[in-house]
């Protein structure tokens, strides 16, 4: 992994992964995204590092993607429309970015001889209830089926997890901001649970999938702890929260592996791999959801995480 392209590279993951790559001997990183202002900010953050290249482009544009991927050996596809209500109200746009965009990334990777390509997916792709999840599920299928299209020349895999702790759009920094300004925390539903994953674990998962995608193509899923949304509320504030009601397309619990997927999932110690070729198969009836997970974060652990973001 010497020459890497990251779609949506100015986002939380893209910036963290870029910092990680620069510490580990990468030769070139291409940041491919639509926002010139965010690219300019990112260039300043990394002091215009000569290893960084910035391409203005949209994943909907196959020709531009192909141009950006020339000479690249590894692609990490992080670009997506991700806000659940936004995708509910704009399904055509979600399809264009999250499905057609994924197809274009795969076509460009095969056409330019990229060695490995990884899709960043979401828990919402498991038993999808909303437009975002449905589109990302199709994106997963496109990436995995591209292994057959490439005839072994380009290797494709997927990583699936929820919002990273402290990342743009996640609940922890939002609640923390409200608490610091002495505002009342607004909760959609008190029954909600979520998985917790740090940026470091997300990067480690992507690195593992890149290293293992040739022998074990599939959907890579980390083993994580969960937390109850009300435990987070009580950790941050002693004020009574305001309950807004569940948003369009929102789930009470995150699901990373459904019962049906479990029949083709293997346990690889630190990770699960759906459609894995080696390892210990899961038992019938197994599913992996934040609501039924037995590894719960304590309030002290939640406080420590919130203090670090």
Active site residues: 124
Taking CB atoms within 8 Å and a gap of at least 24, the contacts of 198-202 are 198/164, 198/165, 198/305, 199/12, 199/13, 199/16, 199/164, 199/165, 199/166, 199/167, 202/13, 202/16, 202/159, 202/161, 202/164
Using an 8 Å Cβ cutoff, are 97 and 25 in contact? no
> Cα(252)–Cα(187) distance, rounded to whole angstroms?
12
Closest CA to 59 of 8, 135, 113, 118: 8
Using an 8 Å Cβ cutoff, are 18 and 46 in contact? yes
* Alpha-carbon separation of residue 307 from 174, 203, 258 (angstroms): 13, 21, 33
> Cα(61)–Cα(101) distance, rounded to whole angstroms?
8
> Cα(25)–Cα(28) distance, rounded to whole angstroms?
9
Handedness of CA 193, 199, 201, 204 (dihedral sign): positive
Token reading at 56: 């203005």
Using an 8 Å Cβ cutoff, are 226 and 147 in contact? no
Q: Beta-carbon neighbour count of residue 52 at 10 Å?
A: 21
Closest CA to 30 of 47, 53, 9: 53
SS3 283: coil
């Amino acid at each position: 992994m010497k020459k890497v392209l990251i779609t949506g590279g100015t986002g939380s993951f893209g910036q963290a992964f870029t910092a990680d790559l620069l510490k580990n001997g990468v030769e070139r990183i291409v940041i491919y995204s639509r926002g010139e202002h965010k690219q300019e900010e990112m260039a300043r953050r990394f002091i215009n590092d000569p290893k960084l290249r910035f391409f203005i482009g949209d994943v909907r544009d196959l020709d531009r993607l192909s141009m950006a991927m020339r000479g690249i050996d590894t692609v990490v596809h992080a670009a997506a429309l991700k806000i659940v209500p936004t995708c509910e109200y704009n399904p055509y746009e979600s399809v264009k970015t999250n499905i057609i965009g994924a197809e274009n990334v795969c076509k460009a990777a095969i056409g330019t001889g990229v060695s490995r390509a990884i899709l960043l997916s979401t828990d919402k792709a498991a038993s999808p209830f909303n437009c975002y999840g449905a589109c990302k599920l199709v994106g997963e299928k496109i990436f995995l089926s591209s292994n057959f299209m490439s005839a072994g020349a380009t290797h494709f895999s997927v990583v699936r997890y929820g919002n990273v702790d402290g990342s743009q759009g996640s609940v922890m920094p939002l609640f923390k901001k409200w608490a610091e300004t002495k505002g009342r925390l607004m909760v959609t539903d008190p029954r909600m649970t979520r998985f917790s994953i740090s940026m470091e674990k997300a990067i480690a998962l992507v690195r593992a999938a890149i290293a293992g995608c040739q022998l074990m193509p599939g959907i890579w899923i980390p083993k994580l702890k969960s937390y109850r949304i009300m435990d987070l509320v009580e950790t941050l504030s002693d004020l009574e929260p305001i309950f807004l009601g569940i948003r369009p397309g929102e789930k009470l619990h995150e699901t990373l592996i459904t019962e049906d997927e479990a029949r083709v999932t293997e346990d690889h110690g630190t990770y699960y791999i759906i459609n894995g070729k080696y390892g210990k198969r899961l038992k019938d009836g197994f599913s992996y959801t934040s609501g039924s997970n037995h590894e719960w974060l304590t309030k002290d652990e939640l406080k420590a995480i919130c203090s670090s973001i």
